Structure 1
Amino acid sequence: MKKDDAPVRLLQSINKNKKFSGLWRSIDEYRDRERNNWPAWCFLPLNVWHILMVMAEPKFAQKNDSVTLGTINSFSAVLAAIGSWRPTQDIFVFDNEAFEAIAKSDIDAKISVENILHLPAWSIYIKWGKRDYDGFFATLIYEAGESKKYLDLVFLYDNDYNFPKPNFVRIPLQKSLSVYEAINSYKQENIKKQQKIGINSALTEEYFDEINVNDVAVAVSLILYICSESPEIDGITATATINHPRSQK
């Protein structure tokens, strides 16, 4: 790992932000008390990340419109990715040949939910083998209220070594669907929720329509390879599991 890696710079920017002062200590203390209340593959439930985001930006709590809700959702997803990645800080790099081979995977293939849950840590960072992004976080997320599980992908645009610009996609893992089906399922779920409380869903529809499904499919294929029973990965041993990941200072 290098100090100029995009995920490291993102973590450092949060550490320097006074709004998040004491954040990691509070999270560690909360996990010590409550971690038996959710699955071991999740670092913190989704609602906790939302609360932490609103605490850092109290102005979000004063509004209930589609823009604010979308901002809270995106910001808390990025915070969840970096916060869940922070304890282990695993970065996976595929060689060009392997990346290209996996990138040709069938986009219509069903996502193996059980395999995804074998991620070697709560969140990992995978370098992207093309120029489009620096890489992406893959984070397992649990929604406690409805007992739902998700795979969060946060792609980082490197931005010429300045602050990495994140782009967030959430994939429901309730059942085995293709990437397109999973994204569309989550889109319809969000639109129904917004319409129920009288919020205009136009921005939500626009957000989902702009998702690059092909890139998401490649990302999921890379993750599934890492989660396979015997991946050829240097530096990874059988002792690194979701229940007992290696800690990193």
Structure 2
Amino acid sequence: MGLHFLDIWPRLDRLRASCLDGTEGLPEHWYLPFNAVMPVLDEVLEEMVQAGMTVGTVPGPTVNMLATLAGWRATQGIYRFDRTLLDALIATPTEGKLPTGLLSRLPEWTVYIETPGLRWTDEPLLGVFAQVGSLPDGGEALTLVGHLDHAERCVSGVSIRLGQDTIEESLEAGYVRRAAAGMAIDGLELSTLHHIVPGVISLLLYLSSEAAEVGDGTRQPTRPVPRRTKKGRRMFPAERQTPWDVGVRLGAALRRAVAGEERPVTKSGNTNASPVPHVRGAH
């Protein structure tokens, strides 16, 4: 993405610094206000045109995509769910309004979740970037950006308004708005969105819950603080990607339950069978 837009990442780093130094500041779970990215992108595109570079049509969702990926560069966390837990969570229905307060507790500004087994139209979906950010009317949206292949190709972000619409209503409204504006969603059918998005949101709700099992217990993901430089506070990208194993013990317990494993018989003659674990919606 950074290769397509000249010098975009340092500019967005400076934008974040200016937002932090502003009178209103930023909510802790926002990396950038999505609407503040547009002027920066316009400036970059104008400079590219003046330099004689060919600039094609930039889809509207690119703004949210840039804000989401900029937030991920600061931490570069990769969340790898235990496969049994991942399948169970994806199969758990997500109904009703999305809880804004819960999703604001994602462990990093932007999380990247590996999604083995999911497909984006006819291609494997390797993972999804997810971030909560602002809407122009003051509301909040969850933006999801799909990662399709190891060449770092991403697909336009899908934004779901929080706290008001159901997932289905929000997806359909966004799809209709894009279609009316002539903006295709990478050839994606609405039915495919309905198939992918609720499962991804279930994974995010687990990551946001107090009971989430992330890592090996010796360390936890964090949101880094800006560094002070001669030019003011700056947020620099993480030096390397950091993998986080998610739900290893819970996934193992689910497999034991499915296999019908029991604890050894006790001296009293009781089998002392392990309780069957189950996946509940995050609270």
TM-score normalized with structure 1 length: 0.72
Q: 3-state DSSP class of the match of 2:170? A: helix
Q: Residue type matched to 1:30 in 2? A: S
2:229 corresponds to which residue? Answer: none
**Offset at residue 244 of structure 1 (A):** 6.5
**Closer/same/farther in 2, CA of residues 238 and 180 from structure 1, 3 Å limit:** farther
Q: Gaps spanning 5+ residues in structure 2: where?
A: 50-55, 119-123, 227-234, 240-283
| Aligned pairs for 1:160-171 within 5 A | 161-171=150-160
Is 1:153 the counterpart of 2:155? The answer is no
**Closer/same/farther in 2, CA of residues 73 and 178 from structure 1, 3 Å limit:** same
Q: Residue type matched to 1:43 in 2? A: Y
The alignment's C-alpha RMSD in Å is 3.5
C-alpha contact 2:146 2:155 (8 A) present in aligned 1:
yes
| Aligned pairs for 1:80-95 within 5 A | 80-95=67-82
Q: In structure 2, which of residues 125, 132, 146 is the aligned counterpart of residue 140 of structure 1? A: 132
Q: Gaps spanning 5+ residues in structure 1: where?
A: 1-9, 62-66, 192-199
| Greater radius of gyration (CA) | 2
Q: In structure 2, which of residues 222, 232, 238 is the aligned counterpart of residue 248 of structure 1? A: 238
As a proportion of its length, which structure holds more helix?
1
| Separation in 2, partners of 1:88, 1:59 | 29
Q: Which moved more, 1:78-87 or 1:21-30?
A: 21-30
Q: 3-state DSSP class of the match of 1:38? A: coil
| Aligned pairs for 1:48-87 within 5 A | 48-58=36-46, 71-87=58-74
**Offset at residue 17 of structure 1 (A):** 5.7
**Offset at residue 117 of structure 1 (A):** 1.3
**Closer/same/farther in 2, CA of residues 101 and 201 from structure 1, 3 Å limit:** same
**Closer/same/farther in 2, CA of residues 230 and 243 from structure 1, 3 Å limit:** farther
1:226 corresponds to which residue? Answer: 207
2:102 corresponds to which residue? Answer: 115
**Offset at residue 97 of structure 1 (A):** 0.6
Q: For each residue in 1:125-179, what CA deviation from the matched residue of structure 2 results, as whole angstroms up to 9, or x when unmatched?
A: 1111215211010011113x42110000001111xx324232321000142x431
Q: 3-state DSSP class of the match of 2:159? A: strand
**Closer/same/farther in 2, CA of residues 179 and 28 from structure 1, 3 Å limit:** closer
Structure 1 vs Structure 2: percent identity of aligned residues?
A: 20
2:259 corresponds to which residue? Answer: none
**Offset at residue 37 of structure 1 (A):** 3.4
Q: Which moved more, 1:216-225 or 1:52-61?
A: 52-61
